[in-house]
Amino acid sequence: MWLKILLSALIVAFCVALGYFAAEKYRARKKFFSELSSLNEAYLNELSYAKKPLEVFLEERKGKGEFAKVISSLLRHEPPSLKNFRLTEEEQADCSEYFSMLGRGDSLSQRTFFSSKTSCLAQKKTACEKEAKTRTTLYVKLGLLAGLAFVILIL
């Protein structure tokens, strides 16, 4: 009897964990646009006030996790790899354009370009946060239901 209950609990927990990990795609996109938005805000402040060299600025704003790899590739003057963030082709093109404009041109043209990207990044950030929240809860609930269905079929 106890063995059945323990096995049932483990099956349900396993299915819920699968649902949680299936939603990782949406959480990665949310984290990417959150860090990119904060990088954009910091870079605009940098352009307006301190005007440090790009390498010094990027060293200070390394980031965490996968985004740190993007920053380190920019420091090596290589195009960043955006495949780990599971972005759409359009988003990859926009981000590649964004990263290619870092440190290019004079301060005024950069301020104009990055100011125009602020609202776009804020919209993508809020959309990704909303989508990550709904998809994560959906996948966890689907995992729970699948686990319960599997337990019912076994027992």
Residue 116 lies in a domain: yes
If we measure between CA atoms, which residue out of 46, 44, 79 comes closest to residue 60? 46
Residue 12 lies in a domain: no
For 47-85, how does the pLDDT look when each residue is reduced to its tens digit (9 = 90+)? 888 778 888 888 888 777 778 888 888 888 888 877 777
Give the whole-angstrom CA distance, residue 83 versus residue 43: 24
> Count of domains in the chain?
1
Q: Give the predicted TM-score (pTM) of the model.
A: 0.85
The answer to whether residue 20 scores a pLDDT higher than 90 is yes
Give residue 44's domain range. Answer: 24-154
> Across residues 9-22, what is the average pLDDT?
96
The answer to whether residue 138 scores a pLDDT higher than 80 is yes
Residue 11 lies in a domain: no
- For residue 79, CA distances in Å to 69, 82, 100, 119 come to 11, 9, 8, 24
Residue 2 lies in a domain: no
